[in-house]
Structure 1
Amino acid sequence: MDSVEEIIERMRQACGVNSDVELAKYLGLSRSNAISSWKTRGSKPYAYCEIVSEQEGVTMDWLLTGKEPKHRGKMTTALDQQEMRLLDMIEQLSEENRREILSRIESMYSANQQAKRIEELESRLMELSKKIS
């Protein structure tokens, strides 16, 4: 299970707020220092996690540990099944092979991002060319 700070951060994410004060207001806490006292004491706010889970449709598991799925009732798609298959295969590899795969995926991702950026720039260039002519 994660630290109180990490749990509170996920609670803020789920509720769409940026600060502990906003989270306290969202949760209807009358004391603005309630959340800081959770952090000081290291007490995990299970009851408030249940409230956030119910109101925002996120899983308790995600709030408490950060593990997916984040949302309750998330339907399994073909892509999700492929991801699970990949994870199962990766878990069976040595640490060295895992690092190599991660490196290759990062390279592919970077190349993909660059290709998208080039496409965007080409599109903008075409638009500008039309405006000039």
Structure 2
Amino acid sequence: MKQITGTKTDAALSSALQISPQTLSSWKGRDSTPYAFCVEIAQARGLSLDWLLLGEGPVLRQGRVDAPANTEESSILAKWRQLDEEDRYAIQSALEEKHRLREMERKLSEMAATLTALQHASKS
């Protein structure tokens, strides 16, 4: 799991998998990860279950549905996978902030249009 998430520590892995450190510790203690969780991870990342569960065969599922559509996406994805967790977090935070700003700009534009319409209506 650390290999596919690009993490090095259990704390980083639990964060990447969006599970609590206690859950991860429990799985490790039992030497067992829930099968449904493995299937979910394999589907989300296009991984072969044979490779994920048994370490056998190709890493990627044959005929991967969510493979990048072009070489630019492939290049970005390859670079993303080379980043350490801290850099990934910083980039994701910046992207989320940019998304929030765009949403705020859209709402501000809508409010300005509504205000203009109300001003015109009150003058009539």
TM superposition score category, shorter chain reference = 0.3 to 0.5
TM-score by length of 2: 0.45
